[in-house]
Amino acid sequence: MISKSISIFCDTPEKIENYQEAINDTTEVWDLHHRLELTLDGEPALRRDDLKRMGMYYHRPYFELIFLKKKDHYNLHSAGHKNPMFGHKQTPEAIERTRKANLGRKDSPETIEKKRKASTGEKNGFYGKHHTDEKRAYWSQIRKGRPNPNKGKSNRFKGMKWKLVDGKRIWYKEDAC
């Protein structure tokens, strides 16, 4: 899905790189990017206003243009030093305002379920992966000599078992069955 009328940017849009992908994609929005806006290093070269002033923004040859997914196009123009907040730090007052605004905020059950589904199974970034033996040995070594954080705490589930009932975990005493 293409976001703008492309005929004003190029007379032969079908030759623009990623054109077929952009036309056939029904789920994502694609933007047209001018290659002259950035150098090969990703540094800003010419701004949109500069290109317009020089008469190099509209009716360009196809090789000066490329279709990018909207989020990739945004990231290209706002990453790192191109982001207006880059190098700035929020004031303590601004941090406190944000903290107060979010205080007591809870996600709705629908939102919680959406978030759970968005990172369950194959959608989880760690799905199918395992920590290496070296990493596990490293963590074990770090913890050696430290007191057990659970020492002295009672285990409310000690002597209990659980079973699934309607997809929920139900706890019960072993001798109660």
What is the pLDDT, as a whole number, of residue 53? 85
Query: What rounded mean pLDDT belongs to the chain?
Result: 84
pTM score, whole prediction: 0.46
Query: Residue 131: phi, psi to the nearest 5?
Result: -70, 140
Q: Which residues of 99-124 are buried (b: 16+ CB within 10 A; e: fewer)?
A: eeeeeeeeeeeeeeeeeeeeeeeeee
Most confident of 27-41, 57-71, 116-130: 116-130
Query: Is 34 in contact with 80 (CB distance < 8 Å)?
Result: no
To the nearest whole percent, how much of the chain has pLDDT over 90? Answer: 27
HEC per residue, 17-81: ECHHHHHHCCCCCEEEEEHHHECCCCCECCCHHHHHHCCCCCCCCHHHEEEEEHHHHHHHHHCHH
Least confident residue range of 28-32, 38-42, 53-57, 148-152: 38-42
pLDDT (average), residues 63-90: 79
pLDDT at 177 over 60: no
Element (H, E) at 172: strand 168-173
What is the pLDDT, as a whole number, of residue 33? 82
Least confident residue range of 1-10, 11-20, 56-65: 1-10
pLDDT tens digit string along 129-161?
999 999 999 999 998 988 888 888 877 777 888
What is the torsion angle, in degrees rounded to the nearest 10, for the CA atoms of residue 63, residue 69, residue 73 and residue 75?
Answer: -140
pLDDT tens digit string along 45-70?
777 788 888 888 888 888 888 888 88
